[in-house]
């Protein structure tokens, strides 16, 4: 982070999104769309996929069901977070 922070302009660097690995990098910071976009992150999707696979292995439930549960909860939490951001400003 320190090396990257030294290469960009200080006014354009966002500590909550330092490498722009999510869709929030395309929206203005602080908006509801930015909050929703930060939930769609390549690393976050990878973590959710691993959680769904692990959940499937541990519970012996079909992978499709586990993916629906894990990604469904993640989508619900992202929508709730975007809703709170929209209500607050």
Q: What is the pLDDT of residue 25?
A: 78
Indicate whether 47 belongs to any domain.
Answer: yes
Indicate whether 40 belongs to any domain.
Answer: yes
pLDDT tens for the chain, 89 residues: list them: 455 556 666 666 666 666 778 888 788 877 888 888 888 888 899 999 999 999 999 999 999 999 999 999 999 999 998 898 888 87
Q: What is the pLDDT of residue 76?
A: 96
Name the nearest CA neighbour of 1 among 11, 12, 13. 13
Indicate whether 31 belongs to any domain.
Answer: yes
Name the nearest CA neighbour of 58 among 46, 69, 73. 69
**How far is residue 13's CA from residue 5's CA, in Å, rounded to a whole number?**
7
Look up the domain containing 26 and give its range. Answer: 22-88
Query: How many domains does one find in the chain?
Result: 1
Indicate whether 13 belongs to any domain.
Answer: no
Indicate whether 39 belongs to any domain.
Answer: yes
Indicate whether 57 belongs to any domain.
Answer: yes
**How far is residue 19's CA from residue 35's CA, in Å, rounded to a whole number?**
16
Indicate whether 78 belongs to any domain.
Answer: yes
Predicted structure pTM score: 0.72
């Amino acid at each position: 982070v320190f090396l990257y922070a030294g290469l960009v302009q200080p006014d354009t660097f966002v500590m909550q999104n330092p490498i722009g690995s999510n869709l929030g990098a395309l929206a203005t910071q602080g908006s509801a769309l930015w909050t929703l976009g930060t939930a769609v992150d390549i690393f976050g999707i990878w973590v959710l996929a691993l959680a769904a696979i692990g959940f499937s292995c541990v519970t012996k439930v079909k992978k499709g069901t586990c993916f629906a549960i894990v990604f469904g909860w993640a989508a619900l939490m992202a929508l709730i977070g975007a809703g709170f951001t929209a209500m607050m400003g």
